[in-house]
Structure 1
Amino acid sequence: MVLARKIRDQAFGSRITFSPKVFIPLTMLCRDKCGYCTFAQPPARLENPYLSPEQVLEIAKQGAKFGCHEALFTLGERPELRYEVAKDWLKQNNYDSTVHYLHDMAALVLRETGLLPHANAGALYRDELAMLRRVSPSQGMMLESLRDDLDCHRGAPDKEPQRRLDTLNFAGELNIAFTTGILVGIGETRQDRIIALEAIAESHAKYGHIQEVIVQNFLPKPLTIMQREKPCPQDEYLWSIAAARIILPPEIHLQAPPNLSDDFGVLLDAGIDDWGGVSPVTADHVNPERPWPSLDKLRDATEKREKALAPRLTIYPEFANSPTKWLDDSLHFKILDRSDAEGLGRDDPGQVWPEKVTAADVVHDGAEVVLIGHRSTQWYSGANNPPPVLISTQIENKKISGPIAEILRGVELQQEVGQDEIVTLFGARGAEVNAVAQLADSLRVQAVGDVVTWVHNRNINYTNVCTFKCKFCGFSKGPLSLNLRGTPYLLTLDDIAARASEAWQLGATEVTLQGGIHPDFDGDYYIDVARAVKTAVPEMHIHGFTALEVTEGARRLSEPLHQYIMRL
């Protein structure tokens, strides 16, 4: 396990991830009869063959209210091929297959809640995977084992090894970020597990699409064929996790479900870097007798081993940050909306809902649209709710290790911090954030003591018309003929002077001047704006213009930049 941990730490540092999710059991009917499964149920035990759209949406909304990112769709495989009641229900609701219904429910959840679907639909054909790719940023299927003679898979045609290998490779051909895994303790040997892991590694070597491998231990469940079988021994389970870490390419993430082990902290010792999906709302419907551990317990187990816990999305950062290859175009923004700068899940407290707007009937405060529907409660600059506490005093004394700890030790030794180290520091989580903040605070005290300054300022945006088309900008407008986001405007010099005077009367000592790059401006315009402010309020300090405005002003006058700056 020492080697497994070393490989894990070299690949992922101190980061241990989990996915905050809701579990949506779309249907518990299944054509397969697996000897260990309690998820699949006969029609007589179910009120309806499938969850209705209303039921699906209610579960998803609960997840959104609790700040989840993932909607895990789990379902039995192709029940319409075994049960007439499933076939009839699909036909009555205008669906030709369970996978088709799954597609529409994933689209519904994505549209109405913003939760990111993860379709775990079993062995699928290429066209089915392609259809789901449009609405599901990632997909998954447990390979389980490549043994074709396991007693637990008798009567389970979808567990035929080649069927599952085909699904794995189809996903690679389609550039789908894919999760797979093995089951440990269902009658297979160590050599069987090695063969399965090597097959996963081979598929990944060809397509690069395996984002995560789950190593799951067998536990006997009542009322199943395997109810009297012994559970997977812990030493065998830990060996299998470590073997997976050693056999698989280091960039593939490794998960072990924490709710299936009484001492789940030891799973970290075997080399995992992910806890998988953990739900604050729904049970683990595949293992209902094993509740999820609380997030506090997960964090405690993680930090005891000097690791940092971080939420992720259904799709891992390595794939989310290459959206052109791995995501349908329609999913790009939806991933960005829920991801942080690293491509992990945003962990701001509060709810995130898709932003829906309509045109404002009356514009009094400058807003040209109004929000409708559910409102996100995550804090942002200008929001009415209080900002989150970013530096927790409860974890400030916890020891950290890994790259961030090494960088901080270097800073204490007055070593210069390079660009790569700065990027690493921005990835701090949990106790690491506190460690960075503590050192930064001590450096501040050394530099300036305890004096904190601020300036009473007013922003004057003199125009929102801009010839540049920066894709991130929500401020600039174009001519009315372009029918863009709202009404373009251009303040007169008298307007600018009046706003500067008003700011001075209210106690401001500085104005910030910035605006769009108007097509009618020459370089003298910016000088005229600054002169108008100084004429109106000679004592006012001007924090003026962006680099783009200055360089564009000089360019339009064909004036050397240094000379133009001196005139400003």
Structure 2
Amino acid sequence: MSDHPVTPLDAVMSPARIMALMGEVETAALMEAAGAVALDAFGPIVTYSPKVFIPLTRLCRDVCHYCTFATTPRRMDSPYLEMDEVLSIARAGARQGCREALFTLGDRPEDRYGAARSWLTDHGYDSTLAYVAAAARAVFEETGLLPHLNPGILSPDDYAMLRPHAASMGLMLESSSERLCEKGGPHFGSPDKRPAVRLASIAAAGEAKVPFTSGILIGIGETRFERVEALCALRDLHLRHDHIQEVIVQNFRAKPGTLMAGHADAPLEELLWSIAVARLILPRDVSIQVPPNLQPDALESLIAAGMNDWGGVSPVTADHVNPEAPWPHLATLDEASARAGRILRQRLAIGPRHASEPGKWLDPRLAPSVRRQVDGQGLVRADDWHAGSGLAAPDLILGQQTSPRISRILAGLAGGQEPRREAIATLFTADGGDFSAVVQMADRIRQEAVGSTVTHVVNRNINYTNICLYKCGFCAFSKGSTKALRGPAYRLDLPEISRRAVEAVERGATEVCLQGGIHPDYDGETYLAIVDAVRTAAPSLHIHAFSALEVHHGATTLGLPIEDYLARLKAAGLSTLPGTAAEILDPDVRAIIAPDKVTADQWIQIMRAAHGVGLRSTATIMFGHVDNYTHWTSHLLQVRALQRETGGFTEFVPLPFVHMEAPFWRRGASRSGPTYREAVLMHAVARIVLHPLIPNIQVSWVKMGPDGAAAILDAGANDLGGVLMDESITRAAGGVHGQLFDQPAMARLARSIGRPLRQRTTLYDLLPEEADPSASREHQLERT
């Protein structure tokens, strides 16, 4: 280890200053520092993109002295791939599970070759870039693969033409050295390799809001200082435009038949030094990518040096730029990543950070595809599970090794540290060993707070109307007319509501849950009449009714303050409120998913008022649509703050978004619900963040299914909610669970994880064992 420690770098430090600080530091010390930065920034995840390479043309107007990709017309059957050839390659990739189509090609070959000009004219294109646009559009429309384009130097007009058809684009800077463009240098005779020209093109990509890939090529005659200069130039462009998703650090390999065939390959030591320096110079949100096929025997060392992305790996096509270097098998990358304490994950052609904001970084034609493929951090969904789908809960990758950043956060929280916004958001990224650590801590807290008993309530849902004035983008339950997508519109009259309440009592219910759409004929008196109908017909029932939206509508229509209307509801017999209509307590999210609904502030005010008049309530979150981990964090902290103030929440209920029939998912405006990993983490993180203020975390068996619910009961949850006779809202959204999950089924579920089941009241008082069917020997010992 060097006696010179690695000094943290300022965000705009000059290349000269950086070299002065790093010049005497040994590579091993740089690697150690860079590896720690990568682990802290990206956690244990190492990404790759399953892709096909489409060499649209191998003609190029430049002459790079190390390149075997570019050739001449007389060595080709055709200057360009025909469209059917392009689509054939893309379809083969799609069949093999690829998600990206990488278009590789030379730079504007029609400027140099008549054969290229003739082919383009004969096929109806005025330029190579016009054909690139047409081919990219055809590939996306025919196969769903997301195009990534590497067409060379582009102007602002070029980006405007290509952006509607590309998820991302790329241009290697290679080097910032003008010296390499002089006679005898590797870039002599290639005007497009001028650093100023390339930097201007990369800057134009930023102006055009194009997610971008760039990089450096090491070992072609540049100095270490010139590498640092190039990295600083990319750093500065990204700080200006925020568009660079990854920087490739690629080692030169000499190729026979080129002018540099006798030039020595870049040594591994130089590659590791360059990776580490790149990681230390570049902003933490920029990935460092290293092609695994160019150093197949040093994969773990590459990770240790600070890389976090393997780039594109194809199960179908060769690396046309380095044909001598076959792609490693994915199992090899997986094993090497695991040996380095990392987890291999797929990403799209658009990197995860930019994929999390498709409305900003993608054309509307591409954004829906990206939304539907990614999770809350912009990575490809790791499995096919969806909330409410009925699919079996998938196995998650677990591990023993916890990353330093998660270890620090959990240790701080265990020591009594107040939950902090950035730390909580980081917990939602937990995977592998990090995931295991978060879940285990949540389960320990659950055991300490409420013990091992799994609780439930016997209840009935009465959704008294599905006709609604509001147009929430996530809701497939409400109908604006009888022309409804899933079943007819309806409105129950008071006698039918009373009949169902009586029937609920006869079937053993202790609670009735009343919610519905905001019918245009309803006012505050309607809700009072509904409560009275239930209380008169079934005096013993606990009436759990009315979302914050219904309360707001009732109060507004009567011209009453919220507190006064809630007091009237309580006097009429209302017992508690469900904490629904919360969705995500963030104005930006609500403006998309429910722009005409109660605001986040109004929801908080209504819950505060309810608690103030002696009505307790649940708190919920509906997650996995257009939200992200920062929004989830803000929601949890707002619930925590209100609970500290009022103590009125009985439980916290995460509700994974069921997407199948949701209107805004069908329009391509939302993700496909949370992943299974995210759904489990929401319960675990909620347990950790809300402890000790909210003692009960409920899992929705309707959303998660029995096996998912069982797993979450081992991840911090302690309550299964209600048996839910006649649940209809989730089923309207396409969920297959619902209607009834009876006590014997709940007993089997609890027994499968070695826990006792007990029936509770709405306020979490346990029924005496002699009055609790779920505690009976018959139910506890019933065979699965």
TM-score range, shorter chain: 0.7 to 0.9
Corresponding residue of 1:370: none
Q: Please report the TM-score for the alignment, with normalisation by the length of structure 1.
A: 0.81
Is 228-237 or 431-440 further displaced after alignment?
A: 431-440
CA gap of 1:445–1:283, structure 2 versus 1, over 3 A, is farther
Q: Would the alpha carbon gap of residues 101 and 425 (structure 1) be closer, same or farther in structure 2, given more than 3 Å must change?
A: same
Mean alpha-carbon deviation: is it higher for 174-183 or for 413-422? Answer: 413-422
Residue 219 of structure 1 is matched in structure 2 by: 253
Counterpart contact for 1:477–1:487, Cα < 8 Å: no
Q: 2:328 aligns with which of 293, 299, 322?
A: 293
**Secondary structure in structure 2 of the residue aligned to 1:232:** coil
Q: Does 1:467 align with 2:500?
A: no
Question: Deviations 1:256-308 (Å, cap 9, x if unpaired)?
Answer: 22221121211222222322223344433322332333444434434444445
Q: CA deviation at 1:193?
A: 1.9
Aligned-residue sequence identity (percent) comes to 49
Distance 2:98 2:502 in 1: 48
Q: Aligned partners of 1:387 and 1:220: how far apart in 2?
A: 49
In structure 2, distance between residues paired with 1:39 and 1:326: 30
In our comparison, the structure showing a higher alpha carbon Rg is 2
Within a 5 Å distance, the mapping from 1:7-406 to structure 2 comes to 7-9=37-39, 11-43=41-73, 46=76, 48-146=78-176, 147-149=180-182, 151-261=185-295, 262-323=297-358, 325-342=360-377, 344-349=378-383, 378-383=384-389, 385-390=391-396, 392=397, 395-396=398-399, 398-406=400-408
What secondary structure sits across from 1:134 in the alignment? helix
The alpha carbon displacement at 1:540 in A equals 6.6
Structure 2 unaligned blocks of 5 or more? 1-29, 575-784
- Measured after TM superposition, the shift of residue 406 of structure 1 is 1.9
Assess if the C-alpha contact under 8 Å between 2:460 and 2:513 holds in 1.
Answer: yes
Name the structure 2 match of 1:363: none
Question: Within 2, Cα distance between the matches of 1:72 and 1:299?
Answer: 22
CA deviation after TM superposition for structure 1 residue 180, in Å: 0.8
- Mark the CA change 1:68 to 1:456 in structure 2 (over 3 Å): closer, same or farther: farther
Helix, strand or coil at the partner of 1:466:
coil
Q: Distance in 2 between matches of 1:110 and 1:177?
A: 17
C-alpha distance after superposition, 1:11-58 (max 9, x if no partner)? 445544333333333333333333322333444555554344444444
Cα deviation per residue 1:345-388 (whole Å; 9 max; x = unaligned)? 23332xxxxxxxxxxxxxxxxxxxxxxxxxxxx22234354332
> Which residue of structure 2 aligns with residue 515 of structure 1?
516
Q: Which moved more, 1:398-407 or 1:32-41?
A: 32-41
Q: Does structure 1 residue 409 correspond to structure 2 residue 411?
A: yes
Aligned to 1:563: 567
The amino acid across from 2:389 in the alignment is: A
Relative to structure 1, the CA distance from residue 81 to residue 6 in structure 2 (aligned partners, 3 Å threshold; closer, same or farther) is same
Q: CA deviation at 1:565?
A: 4.2
Q: CA deviation at 1:66?
A: 4.9
Q: Distance in 1 between matches of 2:534 and 2:86?
A: 58
Maintained 8 Å contact 1:308/1:431? no
- Root-mean-square deviation (Å): 3.5
Given the alignment of the two structures, is residue 421 of structure 1 paired with residue 423 of structure 2, yes or no?
Answer: yes
The more displaced of 299-308 and 95-104 is 299-308
User: Is 1:440 matched with 2:446?
Assistant: no
Query: How far apart, CA to CA, are the structure 2 residues paired with 1:16 and 1:564?
Result: 57
Q: Distance in 2 between matches of 1:16 and 1:47?
A: 40
Cα distance per residue 1:92-133 (max 9 Å; x no partner)? 332222211221232233334443322121112221111112
1:478, 1:488 within 8 Å by CA — same for their partners in 2?
no
Separation of aligned partners in 2, 1:46 and 1:440: 62
CA contact (8 A) 1:477 1:486 kept: no
Q: Hey, what's the Cα distance between the residues in 2 that align with 1:12 and 1:267? A: 15
Contact 1:73-1:117 at 8 Å conserved across structures = yes
Counterpart-to-counterpart distance in 1, 2:97 and 2:525: 50
Name the amino acid aligned to 1:520.
D
The question of whether the paired residues in 1 share the 8 Å contact of 2:59 and 2:109 is answered with yes
TM-score (norm 2): 0.61
Encode CA deviations 1:427-473: one digit per residue, 9 max, x unaligned.
Answer: 11222212222333333344455444456766554434333333444
1:539-550 matches, within 5 Å, as: 543-550=544-551
Structure 1 residue 563: Cα displacement: 0.8
Unaligned 5+ runs, structure 1: 350-377
Question: 1:484–1:315: structure 2 CA closer, same or farther, 3 Å change rule?
Answer: farther
Q: CA deviation at 1:525?
A: 2.8
Q: Secondary structure at the match of 2:245?
A: strand
Tell me the number of residue pairs that the alignment of Structure 1 and Structure 2 aligns.
533
SS state of the match for residue 211, structure 1? strand
Residue by residue over 1:393-425, the C-alpha shift from the partner in whole angstroms, topping out at 9 and shown as x without a partner, is xx43x3122221222334444555444433221
Specify the SS of the correspondent of 2:186.
Answer: helix
